[in-house]
Structure 1
Amino acid sequence: MTTTQDTAIAPARAPQPAPRKKKLNFTPYALLIPAVAILVLALGYPIVWQIITSMQSFGLAQQFGQAAPFVWFDNYITLFSDPYMWVVVGRSIAFCLVTAAVTVVIGVALALLMNSVNKVVRIIIQISMLLAWAMPVVAAMTVWNWLFDWRRGVVNATLTSWGLDFQNHNWLQNPLSFFFVAMVIVVWMSVPFVAFSVFAGLTQVSGEVLEAAQMDGAKGPQRMRYIILPMIRPVLGIVLLLQIIWDLRVFTQIKLLQDKGSIASETNLLGTYIYQLGVGSSDFAMASAVSVFVLVLTIAISWFYVRNLLKEDES
């Protein structure tokens, strides 16, 4: 039991100093201002101009210099009530999802191959993919058009020599075979990026962990499923997201294949549909409206991955 005398003898605690407020350092924010300003001007101005254009009406009078009148949301109402627009949207989403999935699967397989072979073979594979990746799109499309040419194409000649009936077969006439050829070309051009990105992620996987799992009896598929894939999942996520976005907006490959002899209305994707409305029909308002829709669609697709990233940072 504490007495009054003991309480009096006990030394009084010294008052604690008030915590100092941390001073905000504005230097990093000031250094970011030029980059943010350039980004806003480079991206913000075209987006604002496109939104304004999508709310105007362009006709013959505008081609002679008259100002385009505002119709506000009439273009969007016309666009969303057009059944062909939704056919193009569904076709574009299906194409980008299938193509991105095939690209990631082949890219991961090549990354695993590079990670398991010796140095000489790995360098040969890397140089081959770099050459394919660095080839200009127009030059590459010239080669691919020659390969799938229905009269003198190497693909038809090879398949015919194997006993298959592909003599004078036009790959670009049928929409299904057209998109198969387009998918082959897009995948061929995109696989190097996926393979190099995943290979960089595989170099961060600890070899000691894999050896320990192997000693514990884990087989190859089990090590792949429970160790390798979880460790490179962030790389796979961002690569798959980028591929979906790029394949959703693919234009050059589809347009050059269409020019080779296909029916544009049956093979249009969002990129070629915007080109057809703007350059082909001079309907820049509707082309801008479709472009704004593609921007919103891209943001919607990206948001799921961004939200997962924010959740991982909070946890």
Structure 2
Amino acid sequence: MQIKSIVFLLVIILANHTSFSQTRSILHGKITDARTGSPLAGATILLHDINRNAIANDSGEFKTSFIPAGEYLVEISHIGHISWVERIRVDGNTFRNFVLSDAVVEQEGITVTGVTTATRLKQSPQPVSILKRAELLKISSSNIINALTHITGVNALTTGPAISKPFIRGLGYNRVLVVHDGVKQEGQQWGDEHGIEIDDYSVQRAEVLKGPASLIYGSDGLAGVINLQTLSPVAEGTINANVLGEYQTNSRLRGYYGNVSGTKNGISFNAYGSYKGAQDYENKYDGHVFNSKFNNKNIGG
């Protein structure tokens, strides 16, 4: 009986080891310029379905961390080049080379909102607008929802500089769903003085799905969905630190933000903190608008 138990245990261990080995896959290769053939150092490889990425070294070579075997939507991008987007089957040691062409205008973005898996923007069944981190930093606003009003069809109902509620094509409150790193944010639905409880400095990417999305997100997605992402994974074995500050003259708004992020052994982390404060703003009709000041502090990860 004891021998049978030992044999049975060994069979289970070997089966688990085989299954685990099959799931430990990597994607690696080299990225070069189509015109010159030179390596593209710093090119980014992003697997949208599992939010993993890698960065090409000085020789243009890249290697992802261990990932489960499967099919992923892969985006290869580099400044000044057309982004390359395709679904790739990764199983075991998968080797692929990529060639990027020069571009004057950036190619299409990727969206993961309103669909079950990551998909190309042009293949989404509903209209989706995307604002990346670099674009958000160019917009002067006091909160993230005001920044999104630069997207056609998106408006904001404000009750002060720090409180804005999103409206998509005329519908708002509990008809617009806000998702923050995969978690529903429903604070803006409770009352007029409740805004989005998200640190706008931490947002790395904003996606706005315009149109009914109730089939996936429930009745809250009747008008559309706003998907805000704060975690942008860095390359394996890399640690990044960022510091950001801003000042606006009208309300003497002061804002400060800092974060530290990295990836080690396939595990990504991000810790951030911010402060934003403003005095009563002023206009030419009323002068100082009292009680419009605000003071926000946030820390998260």
Instruction: Give TM-score scaled by structure 1 length.
Output: 0.18
Specify which structure has the higher proportion of strand: 2
Specify which structure has the higher proportion of helix: 1
Structure index of larger Rg: 1
The higher-RCO structure (CA 8 Å, 6+ apart) is 1
